[in-house]
């Protein structure tokens, strides 16, 4: 009776899907994704910071906290491209930061989370910093969002315009009231969207510089203006969570919180080495909190490796939407979020800076292959800033040595070889300019360098 068996198999699969959270028949959950700009791994109370973040700490207690969650890039635009598309930014056409003079953005060939959820009837809004192209065709309202409110790029770029959809509503945008105004827009969206599944993407402008906090928070933290700004973002998260509860949406809404890259001039990367603009862990490892009452276990910490590229495939499954046609680099991490698995075996995770692959994470290991000859956002050396291959690759055991202090490559040649093979295999799937950059870097080896240090021109 093959037909009967097929039917049984189908029913078992459907029941399994519902039980595992991949519901297609039930009302799809609302999604709120709150994204900070340049917030460090160590900047929240629940990650060991002295800053007061009671709402985010409560979110961690009521949901899951990840300790190895990665942005796909250490700067703003590419990390957002990865979040929105589930793909490496070097694959998605946004390898570097976009400026107001640029006329490009996230290519049309890419599909965003918003476009993906739209196929399931979601109402969608983006509130905050978009940074995937500021010309009308690249703005959120042309990339799957019904509505947009925010500064379309970084707040240190000019002109500093505040947009509603594609119209300028304020120039030059006032920094001090940004967070409360973003929050007001988010709350209004939640209120008018109840009754329909919705996706609220809330990429805050802060704590990217120049900093601004409202009178209610200014001077109130014990960590200067940076602390005030983070504590105001925490307040905003509390307002959003409160609105969901007030509207009776609490139990059918998944709320996620993270940041695009590590801390810049201020902020804390915790014990992690490096900051924004570097592929050391401090540049790319981020806080990640996820709360979904009854579906994500309370108060659990997950040490499994996860990435912003995983958000699209995870939400597509959770919300019953078909994933985009483009091949994805992210994976569905619902098995970790639901508590079914502590970690998921996955292909090596690549760390890109601009077009250059510099490191790869595979299991407990991280291999550094190449590095720039200067620190990001510092004066370039004579001859320009170039990416070069380390004379000897460096291997760090991120379980035993999370701050990348002890190079164990000489003791683990087979691990080094295995990760190299995986990088080579993956790189062959990237667009030609990215492959070319990889080849060019391999042909450019630094003469000598101290372990972990940036080689100075005089030493080469």
Q: Which chain residues interact with Mg ion by CB under 5 A?
A: 37-38, 76, 260-261
Cβ at position 277, least distance to Mg ion in Å: 9
Task: Please tell me the total number of residues recorded for the chain in this structure.
Answer: 460
The one catalytic residue among 22, 36, 126, 131:
131
Choose between 37 and 57: whose C-beta lies nearer to Mg ion: 37
Answer whether 56's CB lies under 8 Å from 237's CB.
Answer: yes
Tokens at residue 215, please? 């009178």
Other beta carbons within 10 Å of 30: 25
Sign of CA dihedral 454, 206, 292, 46: positive
What are the Cα distances from residue 2, in Å, to 6, 10, 95? 6, 12, 50
Nearer to Mg ion, 225 or 296 (CB): 225
Instruction: Give, rounded to a whole angstrom, the gap between the first and last alpha carbons of the chain.
Output: 73
Active site residues: 76, 131
């Amino acid at each position: 009776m093959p037909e009967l068996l097929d039917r049984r198999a189908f029913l078992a699969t459907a029941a399994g899907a519902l039980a595992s959270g991949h519901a297609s028949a039930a009302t799809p959950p609302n999604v709120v994704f709150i994204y900070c700009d340049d917030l460090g791994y160590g900047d929240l109370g629940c990650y060991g910071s002295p800053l007061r973040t009671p709402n985010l700490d409560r979110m961690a207690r009521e949901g899951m906290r990840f300790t190895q969650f990665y942005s796909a890039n250490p700067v703003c635009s590419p990390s957002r491209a990865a979040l929105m598309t589930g793909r490496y930014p070097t694959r998605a056409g946004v390898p570097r930061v976009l400026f107001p003079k640029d006329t490009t953005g996230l290519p049309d060939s890419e599909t965003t989370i918003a476009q993906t959820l739209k196929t399931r009837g979601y109402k969608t809004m983006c509130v905050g910093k978009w940074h995937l192209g500021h010309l009308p065709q690249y703005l959120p309202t042309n990339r799957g969002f019904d509505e947009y409110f925010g500064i379309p790029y970084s707040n240190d770029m000019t002109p500093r315009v505040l947009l509603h959809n594609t119209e300028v509503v304020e120039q030059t945008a006032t920094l001090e009231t940004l967070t409360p105004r973003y929050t007001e827009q988010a709350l209004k969206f939640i209120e008018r969207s109840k009754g329909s599944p919705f996706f609220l993407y809330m990429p805050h402008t802060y704590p990217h510089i120049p900093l601004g906090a409202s009178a209610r928070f200014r001077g109130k933290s014990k960590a200067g203006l940076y602390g005030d700004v983070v504590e105001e973002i925490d307040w905003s998260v509390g307002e959003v969570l409160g609105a969901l509860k007030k509207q009776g949406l609490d139990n059918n809404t998944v709320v996620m919180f993270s940041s695009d890259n590590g801390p810049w001039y201020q902020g804390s990367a915790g014990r992690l080495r490096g900051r924004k603009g570097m592929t050391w862990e401090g540049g790319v490892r981020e806080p990640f909190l996820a709360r979904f009452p009854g579906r994500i276990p309370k108060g659990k910490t997950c040490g499994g490796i996860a990435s912003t590229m995983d958000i699209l495939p995870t939400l597509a499954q959770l919300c019953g939407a078909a994933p985009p046609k483009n091949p994805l680099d992210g994976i569905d991490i619902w098995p970790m979020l639901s508590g079914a698995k502590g970690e998921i075996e996955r292909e090596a995770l690549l760390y890109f800076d601009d077009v250059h692959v510099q490191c790869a994470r595979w299991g407990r290991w991280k291999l550094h292959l190449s590095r720039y000859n200067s620190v990001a956002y510092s004066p370039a050396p004579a001859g320009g800033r170039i990416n070069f291959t380390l004379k000897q690759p460096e291997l760090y055991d991120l379980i035993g040595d999370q701050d990348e202090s002890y190079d164990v490559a000489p003791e683990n040649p087979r691990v080094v070889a295995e990760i190299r093979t995986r990088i080579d295999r993956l790189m062959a799937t990237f667009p030609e300019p990215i492959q070319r950059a990889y080849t060019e870097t391999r042909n450019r080896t630094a003469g000598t360098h101290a372990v972990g240090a940036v080689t100075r021109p005089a030493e080469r």
